[in-house]
């Protein structure tokens, strides 16, 4: 049972770049949310053309029917459906024609049963039309004008509507760099209607931690509690990774300082079970928050989805695999131990390896074999979501295992190692990989140029 007030927004933002989720995936999401005590879904897929690039165009009859069914499905499960539009790429803020186009889109959504709305001005050019720049002395003032107009219009037709706003600088680093212009957030706090909720992602776009003190300082500027748009498990910025670790780095006290907590998770819907299950535990729980225990509990619930046509998957192996794809800023403890083991081997002479080499080979082989068994998953959408990452992990483990086996032989201590299955051009190949090797990033975040 949730301990949060009923007006506290908790749930999921479909707000990533990449292919939007299918209707079937959204229905499964709604079932998860209803069962776990989450209450809000925000529709904002960046690459729905009519959400962002073609925001002026109404939905076709077929598109509208799909959205109508989605809204209806949410209501049947007592979920709050919020529709978001992102006109900031090219909107002319002072144009009555543009405002009327926004009203037409919102009117279409109202007719489909939607009652709650958002305007998003994130990830847009930091400039205005010439006429707009003459009318307003700041980017923020122009956005507040449009948002306030749409808020008033919407409330006349949907009196209980929740209305959300995403600012152009939506994290601490952006605000420090004066995205949107100097004093942007102060202007928004002053000029935006106090009933409109403002999104914030924390100190960073992908925030490892969101301190309570950080949010309390922000409240003074925004003149209201912010609404968290949490990108902790988002992976649209790195197609090689996904995150199935727990909701972490946020203290329970944070819930009292925000108007809600919505997460924008992995692009691949089947990979979000643990992130969303642990989010629900964080939102609905009481007392302290033990993220690792929440993870282990959620993994136990996720395990039945890993039924195979062959050898069963054990919870222990699933946890070890999940630790390899834990959170953006950290591996889970088992994956970290694996990394430290091979790092220690590679930093010492093979003659000194002793039993550590055999222990690593056994550890790597077990994880590699688990990856191989993923091809036998009965739940094929889950396998398809995992397959590219599983293959890459298998390749790296296979290479390291072969290297350790080769170097463990005294005759090979000083010999060069090659692999018939990891050849130049086909292994770690392509332009992107070559560019990365030219300009590597250091642990402190700095970049160093390539040197021969």
Q: Distance (Å, rounded) from C-alpha 278 to C-alpha 313? A: 22
- Residue 361: φ, ψ to 5°: -60, -40
Catalytic residues: 123
Q: Distance (Å, rounded) from C-alpha 432 to C-alpha 218? A: 38
Structure tokens at 303: 């395990």
Look-up: residue for tokens 């332009």? 431
Q: Distance (Å, rounded) from C-alpha 332 to C-alpha 323? A: 4
Where are the strands (E) in 244-360, listed by range? 260-263
Comparing C-alpha atoms, which of 279, 321, 290, 400 is closest to residue 10? 279
Length of the chain: 452
Q: Distance (Å, rounded) from C-alpha 436 to C-alpha 441? A: 9
- Residue 239: φ, ψ to 5°: -70, -10
Whether residue 267 contacts residue 19, with contact meaning beta carbons closer than 8 Å, is answered with yes
Comparing C-alpha atoms, which of 98, 213, 220, 104 is closest to residue 154? 104
Phi-psi region of 83 (alpha: psi -120 to 50; beta: other; left: phi over 0): beta
Whether residue 252 contacts residue 212, with contact meaning beta carbons closer than 8 Å, is answered with no
């Amino acid at each position: 049972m949730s301990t949060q007030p009923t007006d506290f927004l908790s749930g999921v933002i479909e707000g990533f770049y990449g292919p939007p989720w299918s209707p079937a995936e959204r229905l499964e999401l709604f079932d998860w949310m209803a069962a776990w005590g989450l209450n809000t879904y925000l529709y904002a897929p960046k690459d729905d053309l009519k959400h962002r690039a073609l925001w002026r165009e109404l939905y076709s009859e077929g598109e509208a029917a799909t959205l109508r069914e989605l809204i209806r499905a949410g209501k049947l499960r007592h979920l709050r459906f919020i529709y978001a539009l992102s006109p900031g790429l090219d909107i002319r803020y002072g144009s009555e024609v543009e405002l009327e186009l926004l009203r037409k889109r919102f009117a279409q959504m109202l007719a489909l049963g939607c009652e709650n709305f958002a305007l998003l001005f994130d990830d847009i050019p930091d400039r205005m039309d010439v006429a707009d720049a003459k009318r307003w002395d700041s980017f923020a003032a122009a956005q507040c004008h449009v948002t306030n107009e749409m808020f008033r219009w919407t409330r006349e037709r949907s009196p209980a509507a929740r209305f959300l706003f995403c600012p152009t600088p939506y994290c601490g680093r952006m605000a420090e760099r004066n995205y949107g212009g100097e004093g942007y957030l102060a202007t928004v706090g002053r000029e935006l209607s106090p009933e409109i909720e403002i999104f914030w992602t924390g100190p960073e776009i992908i925030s490892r931690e969101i301190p309570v003190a950080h949010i309390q300082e922000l409240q003074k500027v925004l003149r209201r509690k912010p609404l968290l748009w949490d990108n902790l498990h988002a992976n649209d910025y790195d197609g090689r990774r996904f995150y199935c670790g727990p909701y972490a780095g946020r203290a329970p006290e944070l819930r009292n300082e925000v108007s809600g907590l919505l997460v924008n998770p992995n692009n691949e819907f089947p990979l979000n079970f643990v992130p969303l299950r642990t989010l629900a535990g964080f939102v609905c729980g009481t007392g302290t928050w033990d993220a690792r225990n929440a993870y282990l509990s959620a993994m136990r619930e996720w395990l039945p989805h890993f039924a195979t046509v062959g050898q069963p998957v054990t919870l222990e192996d699933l946890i070890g695999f999940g630790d390899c794809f834990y959170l953006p800023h950290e591996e889970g403890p088992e994956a970290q131990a694996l990394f430290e083991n091979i790092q220690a081997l590679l930093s010492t002479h093979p003659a000194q390896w002793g039993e550590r080499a055999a222990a690593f080979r056994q550890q790597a082989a077990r994880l590699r074999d688990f990856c191989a068994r993923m091809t036998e998953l009965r739940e094929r959408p889950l396998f398809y979501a995992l397959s590219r990452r599983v293959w890459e992990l298998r390749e790296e483990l296979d290479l390291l295992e072969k290297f350790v086996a080769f170097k463990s032989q005294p005759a090979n201590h000083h010999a060069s190692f090659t692999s018939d299955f990891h050849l130049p051009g086909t292994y770690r190949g392509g332009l992107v990989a070559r560019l990365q090797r030219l300009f590597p990033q250091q642990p402190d975040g700095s970049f160093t140029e390539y040197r021969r």
